Structure 1
Amino acid sequence: MKVRQWYAQLDVFDTVRRYTALMSRWSGEGPTRERLFVSDFYLANPSLLHETNMTSDARKAFNELRVPRPDQIFLRLPSAAVLYQKMSGIQSEALHNMLGRGLCDLRIADSGQFRLSEDGQRFARSLGRKLVLPLESEVADFLTSEFRMVGVGRGGLRAATGLMRIGT
């Protein structure tokens, strides 16, 4: 019998689900492409949030979630920068699929923000409890509330997280 390990970080369909979950919880203007990719990265790898720079309020809210540190989880993850780069193609493909299938509002996407379209909202509702898994719920709420302000202004999101894509 062959066993194959599955990694949510490298699955286009799961990335679409995570994007849908994040965008369905995002109030106001949708996230930029970079913020969506970074938020998705941390939704898939919440233990790596320990390594980011946050405001004291955001850090306090994050600590209340009791997310295990990277050395306390079962998987041994590569560095955040390496894993973020490895997820690049998957994240782009997932976003292109969502745009192509009309799940994102194209008018807003043209201005660099991403928000679910009417079809995207119906898709989110159709997933019901499968949209946000029980262990993801609090992290998704954190990412779309307190974390959305991390890296705004001086230094930007790259300085706060250390994440950047080669060639961007």
Structure 2
Amino acid sequence: MIVSLASLYDEILTRYVSDLAEARGQALAWWGELVAVEMREGRPKAEAEHLCRMRWPMGAASHPRIVEVYRRYFLEIGRVNEEFLSQEIVDSGFNDPALWDVGPEDEDEIDDGNAVTQPAALLLEGLGRRDMELRNFMLHFVFLPIGMDSEGIIR
């Protein structure tokens, strides 16, 4: 049975939204405590939040659990894309911009369900069609997951 990229992306997004919603609760509690510590020093809430953002510019979305969830799904989409491209396109190189779909917001064009989408576009822009509250929470999230996999390959 051949599975389209669109259906794989849909399944990944379903899990991502669930995991991100759970992590968001943890992150908001953490952020609230950071701000409360600053307020206990006698600072007004706006100043306390500003001081916290000096260290954690993405606010609650800076929480390590949010970064972990985003990174895990970013890399999963990358693996799915690499597998698809290795089957469909020979010697093109995964990072060739000509291979990328603009993103999930480009719904007016005809799609056979096999347009490759950049992981960041799917995880951030695609989130808006699933959960606007989570989309707004992640609106200013800036992170490019780069690291070595188990074989020492930088990803």
**Higher RCO structure, 1 or 2 (CA under 8 Å, sep 6+):** 1
Structure number with greater Rg is 2
Task: Give the structure-1-normalised TM-score.
Answer: 0.29
Task: Give the structure-2-normalised TM-score.
Answer: 0.31
